[in-house]
A = this chain, B = another copy of it.
Amino acid sequence: MLKLQKSKDKKQALLKATLLLVNDAGFQGASMAKVAKVANVSPATIYLYFENKQDLINQLYLNVKEEFSKSAFNGIDMAQPVKKIFEQIWFNIADFKFNEVEEAQFLSQCDNTPLVDEECRAEGLNHLQPLLDLWLRGQEEGIIKPLSPYVLYAFTIYPMAFLMNKQTKSHCPSDTIKLKETFQAAWDSIKV
């Protein structure tokens, strides 16, 4: 029991170490030796928990993606009208992006790199199905434009990654992005 806990701790420490290193210096900056050092572990130990470096990265990606999806749908009340639910989800995601900065940065770095397996990426996208379903419902009700879910995502969720990045790297002062008005822009882009 205690042992199992310790094992989990070590695995989690390795994942977190990788996350930090990737954020700081990209995927090549996260060498197995450095990951081991940051996690206070021998390089050989990594291979008790992960097949190889690719597996470490894939698992980290899925891990963080799941955490992201979970918080996106946290406390959602499906009985509400479409716009209200969408608003809840949107603000959940905004919270994640602006509070779990490390995780959010990592995900946005993953978005465009060829180093995350496509198969893995597809699995990560599945978690967002409830949002796609919501959009479909909105379209059936005639309040959301009949656009592909890719386009809906691109205009409502994806922009937050950009804004989080700019804010984190302090290209813009932290009071520049007013969430309420930003949500309005997102909604205006897809509402009929």
A151 within 8 A of B: yes
Please report which residues of chain A, range 136-181, place their CB below 8 angstroms from some CB of chain B when the two chains form the complex: 145, 147-148, 150-151, 153-155, 158-163, 165-166, 169, 171-172, 176-177, 181
In whole angstroms, how far apart are the Cα atoms of A141 and B115 in the complex?
45
Please report which residues of chain A, range 19-38, place their CB below 8 angstroms from some CB of chain B when the two chains form the complex: 23-29
Residues from chain B with Cβ under 8 Å of A176 in the complex:
148, 150-151
* Cβ contact of A177, chosen from B23, B148, B184, cutoff 8 A: B148
Residues from chain B with Cβ under 8 Å of A27 in the complex:
26-28
Residues from chain B with Cβ under 8 Å of A29 in the complex:
114
A60 within 8 A of B: no
Range, interface on chain A: 35 or more
Please report which residues of chain A, range 37-73, place their CB below 8 angstroms from some CB of chain B when the two chains form the complex: none
**Please, which residue of chain B has its CB at the minimum distance from the CB of A114?**
B26
Find out whether the CB atom of A159 lies under 8 angstroms from the CB atom of B154: yes
Copies in the complex: 2
**Please, which residue of chain B has its CB at the minimum distance from the CB of A161?**
B112
Find out whether the CB atom of A162 lies under 8 angstroms from the CB atom of B166: no
Find out whether the CB atom of A181 lies under 8 angstroms from the CB atom of B147: yes
In whole angstroms, how far apart are the Cα atoms of A86 and B114 in the complex?
32
Residues from chain B with Cβ under 8 Å of A189 in the complex:
155, 185-186, 188-189
Q: Could you list 8 examples of A-B contacts with CB < 8 Å? A: A27-B27, A150-B176, A151-B176, A151-B182, A153-B162, A154-B162, A154-B163, A158-B158
Query: Known pairs A151-B163, A155-B189, A158-B162. 17 more at Cβ < 8 A?
Result: A23-B114, A24-B114, A25-B114, A26-B27, A26-B28, A26-B113, A27-B27, A105-B112, A109-B113, A112-B112, A112-B161, A112-B165, A113-B113, A147-B185, A148-B172, A150-B163, A188-B189
